[in-house]
Structure 1
Amino acid sequence: MTAIMTKRIYDAPAASDGARVLVDRLWPRGVRRDAADLTGWFRDIAPSNALRAVFHHKPELWDAFCERYAQELDAHPEALKPLEDLIAKGPVTLLYAARETTYNNAVALKSYLEKRLG
């Protein structure tokens, strides 16, 4: 399977990133669109605003967040198709804006995709 990585959008782009995909619903503060070097912005696969508000990067809610986020993704498989197409072609880096590097939607999405794509 192709490599799926995660990275803060505030970190400098690297050649090893492959396709760079922003997976947040909101555009990150202080990032110029031309400097982001994005392949795409897939806001439709970001967690719902309601789920984001409940979780708010609290480690104690991580498992519940991942489960509910997976349910949201399962309910809209068509939204995943463009991302899955990119993954089939080569390395993909899922970009996020959160300061929390362990408990965020990109990490949850990476885990979900790795299970889904086998």
Structure 2
Amino acid sequence: MSVRVRRVYETPQPEDGVRVLVDRLWPRGLSKDAAAVDEWPKGLTPSTELRRWYHEGEASYEEFARRYEAELAAPEAAELVDVLRESAEEGPVTLLTASKSPDHSHAAVLAHLLQG
């Protein structure tokens, strides 16, 4: 299974496979053609409340990850996780985020969940 995380602003690569935008909002200043996004399942993104809470700066990444995993366990999100996992079993999947720190973002949490 191949799941990786990249910034959506990076140039698409052939080895990206299926490119999945996992941000709730479309990245600023990026055209849809340049992004080359194959899927945009908004049901996999952190809730607005969780995202705002984390970006206030007082939350630890570990607590954010725990809360986001709990959101992903909800039936609708869990179904989307399963679909994405199946896709990753068939070929490479690249989770795309506009986050400046992809390794400390919801995309990294989702990638870990998919691979685990």
TM-score in terms of structure 1 length: 0.88
**Structure 1 vs Structure 2: percent identity of aligned residues?**
38
Give the Cα separation in 2 of the matches to 1:21 and 1:82.
12
Query: Equivalents in 2 of 1:59, 1:18: separation in Å?
Result: 36
Pair 1:31 & 2:46 matched:
no
**Native 8 Å contact 2:81 2:114 kept in 1:** no
Which runs of no fewer than 5 residues in structure 1 stay unpaired?
Answer: none
Output aligned runs, 1:69-88, within 5 Å.
69-76=68-75, 77-88=78-89
**Shift of residue 102, structure 1, vs aligned partner:** 2.2
- Work out the number of aligned pairs and report it: 114
RMSD of aligned residue pairs (Cα, Å): 1.7
Aligned to 1:93: 94
Rounded Cα–Cα distance in structure 2 between residues aligned with 1:57 and 1:92? 30
State the 1:43 CA deviation: 1.2
Give, in angstroms, the shift of residue 57 of structure 1: 8.1
Residue 10 to residue 75, structure 1, CA distance change in 2 (3 Å): same
Q: Which amino acid in structure 2 is aligned with residue 26 of structure 1?
A: L
**TM-score normalized with structure 2 length:** 0.90
In the aligned structure 1, how far is the partner of 2:112 from the partner of 2:82?
Answer: 16
How far apart, in 1, do the equivalents of 2:107 and 2:97 lie?
6
- Give the residue type in structure 1 aligned to 2:48: N
Question: Given the superposition, is the C-alpha separation of residues 57 and 13 from structure 1 closer, same or farther in structure 2, using an over 3 Å criterion?
Answer: farther
Rounded to whole Å, the distance in 2 between the matches of 1:57 and 1:84 is 31
